[in-house]
Copies of this chain bind each other. A is one copy, B any other.
Amino acid sequence: MADLAGRLLEGLPEAAVVLDPDVTSAYSHDMAGFCVAGEPAVLVLPETVEQVQHILRTATELRVPVVPQGARTGLSGGANAVDGCILLSMVRMNRILELDPVNRIAVVQPGVVNAELSRAAAEHGLAYPPDPSSWESCTIGGNIGTGAGGLCCVKYGVTSEYVLGLDVVLPDGRLLRTGRRTAKGVAGYDLTRLLVGSEGTLGVVVEAVLALRPAPAPQLALAAEFPSADAACTAVCEVMAAGFVPSLLELMDATTVRAVNEMARMGLPDATKALLLVAFDGPGKAEDLAAVAELCRAAGASEVVPAEDRAESDLLLEARRLALPALDRLGTTMIDDVAVPRSRMAEMLRGVARIADRQRLTIGMVCHAGDGNTHPVVVFDATDEAQSARALESFDEIMALGLELGGTITGEHGVGLLKRDWLARELGPVGLELQRQIKAVFDPLGIMNPGKTI
């Protein structure tokens, strides 16, 4: 370890190399539950590409594992330390290098916080759409690592749609430049998108060219209360089949609605078994919203509350923002991230309700319904061993159900540690073998974030 720190200090200032175990242990995990974190050897906080290259060359030389990190807001343990590793925190490389309204691109370092980029883009009338819940603290590097999504993805797509090119330091310290600064380009294999969502297992992003969009107009929203989750899912399918393009389409089940109600005294009737939030931001948004209100009523909504303006819309959307905090008040929570074809979301909700019943647990459903991306939130008492075991079991049952319904074990959070064993089931043997071989092309020594994902 003295060797390692000494070698690192040959190319890094003292302030960038942290050995204090109080600090390193604080950096040793992200926000996922049920994930072990090892003991890191050292935490490094580089500020330049050359420093990152030095760190990775050192790691290769000494065969030390490297765990890259952003703001550690991840939910799958992907940023958790492994024993004896270099924790490579990219948070100090946090500059927006370019913001170009004509070409609608931003060039950023990985430590830039998502919300900071959004605010900087807004000054030019532009937007960087992917908006994970943690957008006020999560970094673009972390977003790229996990392939992050968010609420607006139903209209605007996820992170991989917005990454045009990357500068990546490979495990041996070489600098790889992928992609382009142009709107289009098909020269060679798409390594950019291979790296998006690779969770730090192939290399370390040190710069990214991101596509921006014109900032959308403020959203206009409605809330619709349904007497059953089935009816709400039917409404979702009908909205999408009718060709609407909402900027937000979220669903909360009875458990979540009750929790939000208790926390915020929103006065939702007890008969509400599911709440749908729909928003539009296009030029015809008032007409679209009125038409969707009709569809919701036809699908059985007991009450449809359309907002008259932006302020009322924000109030309605507040219910969604409170969903996770409200569920958190009920106990320890573990959030899953299973996406299914949206036509099968009703089955998913029924199935999760059955699992909750059988396991005698509370499981709240918070769904990016337009994308079929469900977040079952398992609530349990972490001090109760048997209950914790049942929580873990139901977490697995939820993934099995998702796969059975033609879905994926992770819509936007990533595989990390949490779902590593499940990845093989989703990919199958041929896919898994190819993925392992690709990993070996980038990282022949297996030092990049070992034990994660693949």
Contact = CB atoms under 8 A, between A and B. Distances in A.
Interface centre among A103, A158, A419 (most CB of B within 10 A): A103
Contacts of A342: 102-103, 183
A409 B435 CA distance: 29
Contacts of A103: 240, 341-343, 372
B406 A191 contact: no
A213 B156 CA distance: 12
B373 A183 contact: yes
Interface stretch (A35-43, A172-180, A355-363, A390-398): A172-180
A50 to B, nearest CB: 16
Contacts of A185: 339, 408, 410-411
A437 interface: yes
A105 to B, nearest CB: 8
Nearest to A240: B102
Nearest to A408: B185
Given A100-B343, A214-B244, A408 B190 contact: no
A372 B186 contact: no
Contacts of A426: 187-188
A74 B103 CA distance: 28
Contacts of A386: none
A135 interface: no
Given A343-B102, A434-B442, A371 B182 contact: yes
A24 B281 CA distance: 54
A421 B435 CA distance: 28
Contacts of A432: 188
A194 B190 contact: yes
A15 to B, nearest CB: 30
B190 A245 contact: no
Contact of A408 (B180, B244, B412): B180
A126 B243 CA distance: 8
A453 B187 CA distance: 8
Contacts of A437: 441
Contacts of A202: 189
Contacts of A188: 415, 423, 426-427, 431-432, 435, 453-454
Contact of A154 (B183, B371, B415): B183
A26 interface: no
Contact of A197 (B170, B190, B438): B190
A165 to B, nearest CB: 10
A4 interface: no
A161 B158 CA distance: 11
B423 A241 contact: no
Interface in A142-183: 146-147, 149, 153-154, 157-158, 160-161, 170, 174-178, 180-183
Given A104-B240, A161-B161, A241-B101, A190 B193 contact: yes
Interface in A412-435: 412-415, 419, 423, 426-428, 430-432, 434-435
A352 interface: no
A282 interface: yes
A241 B215 CA distance: 12
A411 B184 contact: yes
A189 B410 contact: no
Give the 8 A-B CB pairs with smallest separation, nearest first. A214-B243, A147-B186, A185-B408, A283-B284, A183-B371, A193-B193, A184-B411, A283-B283
24 contacts: A102-B241, A102-B343, A103-B341, A160-B190, A180-B408, A182-B340, A182-B372, A182-B408, A183-B342, A183-B372, A184-B372, A184-B412, A185-B410, A185-B411, A187-B410, A187-B423, A189-B198, A189-B438, A190-B194, A190-B196, A191-B434, A191-B435, A194-B194, A282-B283
Given A102-B343, A158-B186, 7 more contacts: A182-B339, A184-B372, A184-B373, A191-B434, A214-B244, A282-B282, A438-B441
